[in-house]
Structure 1
Amino acid sequence: MGAEVWSAIIAGVALVVAIFSVFFAAAQSRAAKEQAQAARGQLELADKARRESLEPYVVVDFEVPKENPWIIHMIIENIGSTPARDVKIDFEPTPYTTMDSETWRFSDIKILKEGIKFFPPGRRIEILFDNGREAIERKLEHRYRVTVNLNGPFGKVEPQVYDLDARLLDDVLFVSSRRTVHHVAEALQSIDKNFKSFLRRQRQIDT
């Protein structure tokens, strides 16, 4: 072969090597970029998990107390690890109970109107919500979507939403129907006492 042929072959090989080197470098760059993105993603997930573990978590639910299965309590509890601030609880639709009257409505209680400024972890609040037996007799639905807005140590926390249905407690409430007349009278007296005490506390808070 002549010198020109060998020169062409060498030039072709060099071109192939150059092209391969370009593709290899691009592949390495792409792999490095993907690894960096994956590392950033893992760090972001770890940071999100850490932040969530340090955020307050406020639960709202209905409950029938064991000592008096004729009534329904609304429970508000911070089961998170840090204090919640500026807690606002919104019901949809507006709650209506058998105890509502022209002068007092459950929806007007201070916690629902003004919220909770500071709610430490582990704190649990029980509020008399309704007379369960009367609610059943009057066929009140008591189904609500409750949205809890609050702030945590890192600022605003994602709203916590609950679909509550007090009618799921009907079976618990019906247990009390098997009690004696004496137990019924005691339960009614307890309801009246709890309700009057609740109204006194609300008036003191409002003033």
Structure 2
Amino acid sequence: MTHELKVLAVDFGAWTPDDWSALAAVASTALTILTVVIAVLAAIYAKQQVDLARQLREDQAQPFVVVDFADNPVWNKAIDFVVENMGQTLAKNVKIKVDPPFQTTMDDTGHTLASSPLLSQAIPSLPPGKRITALFDVSHERHAAGLPMKYTATVEFEDAHGKPQEPLTYILDLSIRYDLLSITEYRTHDAAKALREISKTLKETRGDLKNEFYRRRQAESADDDSSSVE
């Protein structure tokens, strides 16, 4: 069996002016289409960039309310619950829902965070950079009490114009705070505690000195009486 390979050959020398004109028209049309496609793609890309820049400006100009646990600045064994607007504009009608409701070792003292206005009512306004801090619990006492270590907090709020924003959800996990190495920093609370202990020690020492002085006076008085009798 014989296989024939046929190659399409174009004899440009045999082309007439009309053939060349037709080729030029096809090439011009193809170039025009390519130019239009490039222009459309460029326009789409430019619109995407404009939309992205506008969205970025809008995001930067929106309130951003964050809730979290933080170390107490006075006592490093205490844990604070913090609400902060880290955005650049005012947040309004801020509502915080926590699941399950907060439980702390201080609930029996009458200061129940779960029923406080901070969580049971809406915060009317939260300016940019505004930070609200509430004492939550004491780390070692909470661990010993076996209270929940993980909560889900949902924050609903409006922007400065009263437009509802997308709710933000946070997982608040206290368990990550345990079994970590840290450097002890003695703060104002520790200094005050040390001063109270020093004051107590001085009072006890002064009392002991008074008792010793009185005992010696009594002993000297008894010796004088004995000498007089002799």
| TM-score, scaled relative to structure 1 | 0.70
User: For residues 120 and 64 of structure 1, what CA distance do their matches in structure 2 show?
Assistant: 23
Aligned residues: 175
1:62 and 1:75 in contact (8 A); partners too = yes
* Structure 1 runs not aligned, ≥5 long: 1-7, 187-207
User: For residues 89 and 49 of structure 2, what CA distance do their matches in structure 1 show?
Assistant: 24
User: For residues 124 and 152 of structure 2, what CA distance do their matches in structure 1 show?
Assistant: 22
Match of 2:169 in 1: 161
User: For residues 136 and 92 of structure 2, what CA distance do their matches in structure 1 show?
Assistant: 24
User: For residues 173 and 111 of structure 2, what CA distance do their matches in structure 1 show?
Assistant: 23
Q: Which has the higher contact order (CA 8 A, sep 6+)?
A: 1
Pick aligned residue for 1:72 from 68, 72, 79: 79
User: For residues 64 and 172 of structure 1, what CA distance do their matches in structure 2 show?
Assistant: 15
Is 1:131 aligned to residue 138 of structure 2?
Answer: yes
- 3-state SS, counterpart of residue 164 of structure 2: strand
Is 1:21 aligned to residue 53 of structure 2?
Answer: no
1:144–1:172 Cα change, 3 Å: farther
Percent pairwise identity: 28
Could you say what the CA RMSD is over the residues aligned between the two structures, in angstroms? 3.3
User: For residues 99 and 43 of structure 1, what CA distance do their matches in structure 2 show?
Assistant: 52
Match of 1:35 in 2: 42
What amino acid is aligned across from residue 86 of structure 1 in structure 2?
Answer: N
Q: Which of the pair has more CA radius of gyration?
A: 2
Match of 1:59 in 2: 66
* Structure 2 runs not aligned, ≥5 long: 1-14, 197-230
| Higher-strand-fraction structure | 1
2:103 and 2:148 in contact (8 A); partners too = no
Match of 1:195 in 2: none
User: For residues 91 and 172 of structure 2, what CA distance do their matches in structure 1 show?
Assistant: 21
